[in-house]
């Protein structure tokens, strides 16, 4: 049902997606996990384009967590190469269509070529004012909060807004992004996996069994429709409807 509170415009919505299921998608087809990750990259292209067409303001995609380093070395190396290829291949398209890219998370553990690809894509899109696309690479919500807290001067308290700004700086994504309105997780799992723990405080959550390589514009639209059916109260009680 529609809330008694105002419904945000789509150009103000922050949608975050935990892109899960690529490895299992491949395994079920008798393919190596790397094939699933490549298929997942195609899904990213589809979803970024769909989100732009739908007028989403901010889209944050969880591509690689701080704990993913524990995976087999050959899979990690493949993912790092895939991220580099993806950033190099998409930056001109994003630049031409008004999308601004930020890469959030640590970069010091990435190879120099990937760090350079991220910086080049950010620079190529820095002046755009359309959708803000944020790719979370080597990202941990807990570590981001710890790094932001460490930036506080000794003995000084911060407002939520000030801490959100510190958090934006701590994730190397620059200015703070708005709080997440809708969190989507593909792949059938129902957990947060250390993703945007501060920013999802009042996010609506949609979990889908769809594996990430199969996720498309129809799935994104369905999640948005579910979001708009939710009654978002933010701790308040809506006023009685007159009449």
Residues 17, 186: Cα–Cα separation, whole Å = 8
3-state DSSP helix/strand/coil % of the chain, to nearest 5: 45, 15, 40
Give the start-end residues of each E strand in the chain.
Answer: 14-18, 58-65, 100-104, 132-139, 182-185, 204-207
pTM summary value: 0.91
Collapsed DSSP state (helix, strand, coil) of residue 31: coil
Active site residue 128: no
Q: What is the pLDDT of residues 168-179, one digit of tens each?
A: 888 866 667 899
Model confidence over 177-235: pLDDT tens digits? 899 999 999 999 999 999 999 999 999 999 999 999 999 999 999 999 999 998 877 77
| Domain architecture of the chain: domains with CATH | 12-229 (3.40.1180.10)
What is the pLDDT, as a whole number, of residue 4? Answer: 40
Kindly name the residue from 20, 138, 181, 219 that is annotated as catalytic. Answer: 20
Which member of 11, 67, 68, 138 is catalytic?
68
Q: Give percent of the chain with pLDDT exceeding 90.
A: 79
pLDDT in tens, 125-167: 999 999 999 999 999 999 999 999 999 988 888 899 999 989 9
Model confidence band, residue 240 (pLDDT cutoffs 50, 70, 90): low
């Amino acid at each position: 049902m529609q809330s008694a509170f105002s419904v945000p415009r789509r150009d103000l919505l922050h949608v975050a997606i935990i892109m899960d299921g690529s490895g299992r998608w491949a395994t079920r087809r008798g393919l190596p996990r790397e094939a699933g990750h490549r298929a997942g990259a195609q899904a990213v292209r589809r979803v970024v384009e769909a989100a732009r067409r739908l007028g989403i303001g901010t889209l944050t995609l969880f591509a690689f967590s701080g704990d993913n380093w524990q995976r087999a070395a050959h899979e990690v190396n493949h993912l790092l190469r895939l991220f580099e290829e993806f950033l190099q291949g998409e930056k001109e398209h994003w630049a031409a269509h008004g999308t601004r890219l930020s890469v959030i998370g640590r970069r010091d553990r990435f190879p120099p070529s990937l760090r350079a690809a991220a910086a080049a894509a950010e620079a190529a899109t820095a002046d755009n004012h359309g959708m803000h696309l944020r790719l979370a690479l080597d990202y941990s919500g807990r570590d981001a909060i710890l790094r932001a807290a460490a930036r506080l001067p000794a003995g000084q308290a911060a407002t939520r807004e000030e801490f959100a700004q510190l958090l934006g700086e701590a994730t190397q994504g620059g200015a703070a992004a708005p709080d997440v309105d809708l969190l989507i997780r593909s792949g059938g799992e129902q957990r947060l996996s250390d993703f945007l723990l501060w920013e999802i405080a009042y996010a609506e959550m949609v979990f889908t069994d769809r594996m990430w390589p199969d996720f498309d514009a129809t799935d994104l639209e369905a999640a948005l429709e579910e979001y708009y059916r939710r009654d978002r109260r933010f701790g308040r009680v809506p006023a009685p409807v007159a009449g």
